Amino acid sequence: MLITSETLLKVRYSETDQMGVVHHGNYAQYLELARIDWLSKLGVSYKSMEESGIMLPVFAMDFKFKKSAFFDDELTIKTTLQKIPTIKIIFDFEIFNQSKQLLTIASTTLVFVNSKTRKPITCPSYLIDKIKEY
């Protein structure tokens, strides 16, 4: 039961170096955009999660860069939930260009944290319910 969504974005000039290649540091933001979009498509607002006292800091992030992305490329970020979340939630990503070439493979592990105590907590039941409904 893997839930996958696709997020589209266009590479901006400011995200590239002098050769027009996307700087590797921008990929963390691309994955963040894709995760928030994944939650939104599931019907969960990240903003409302934070307002209810739940934060999702990144615990681990892994990238494998296969090909470069360039200024003005139209990227598709395929985001897949790896398994039902517990205290952590793990996403796998594939980033493709407009020619459907695989550019990057990545994964992120985030931990559910109580924003007041800064201690790990279990995944909220409403998120588990949405995942099971999908």
- Structure confidence by residue, pLDDT tens digits, 106-119: 999 999 999 999 99
pLDDT in tens, 14-55: 999 999 999 999 999 999 999 999 999 999 999 999 999 999
13-40 burial: b if 16+ Cβ within 10 Å, else e: eebbeeeeebeeeebeebbeebbbbbbe
What are the tokens at 72? 């003005």
The model's pTM: 0.94
For the chain, percent of residues with pLDDT exceeding 70: 99
Q: Which DSSP state fits 20? A: S
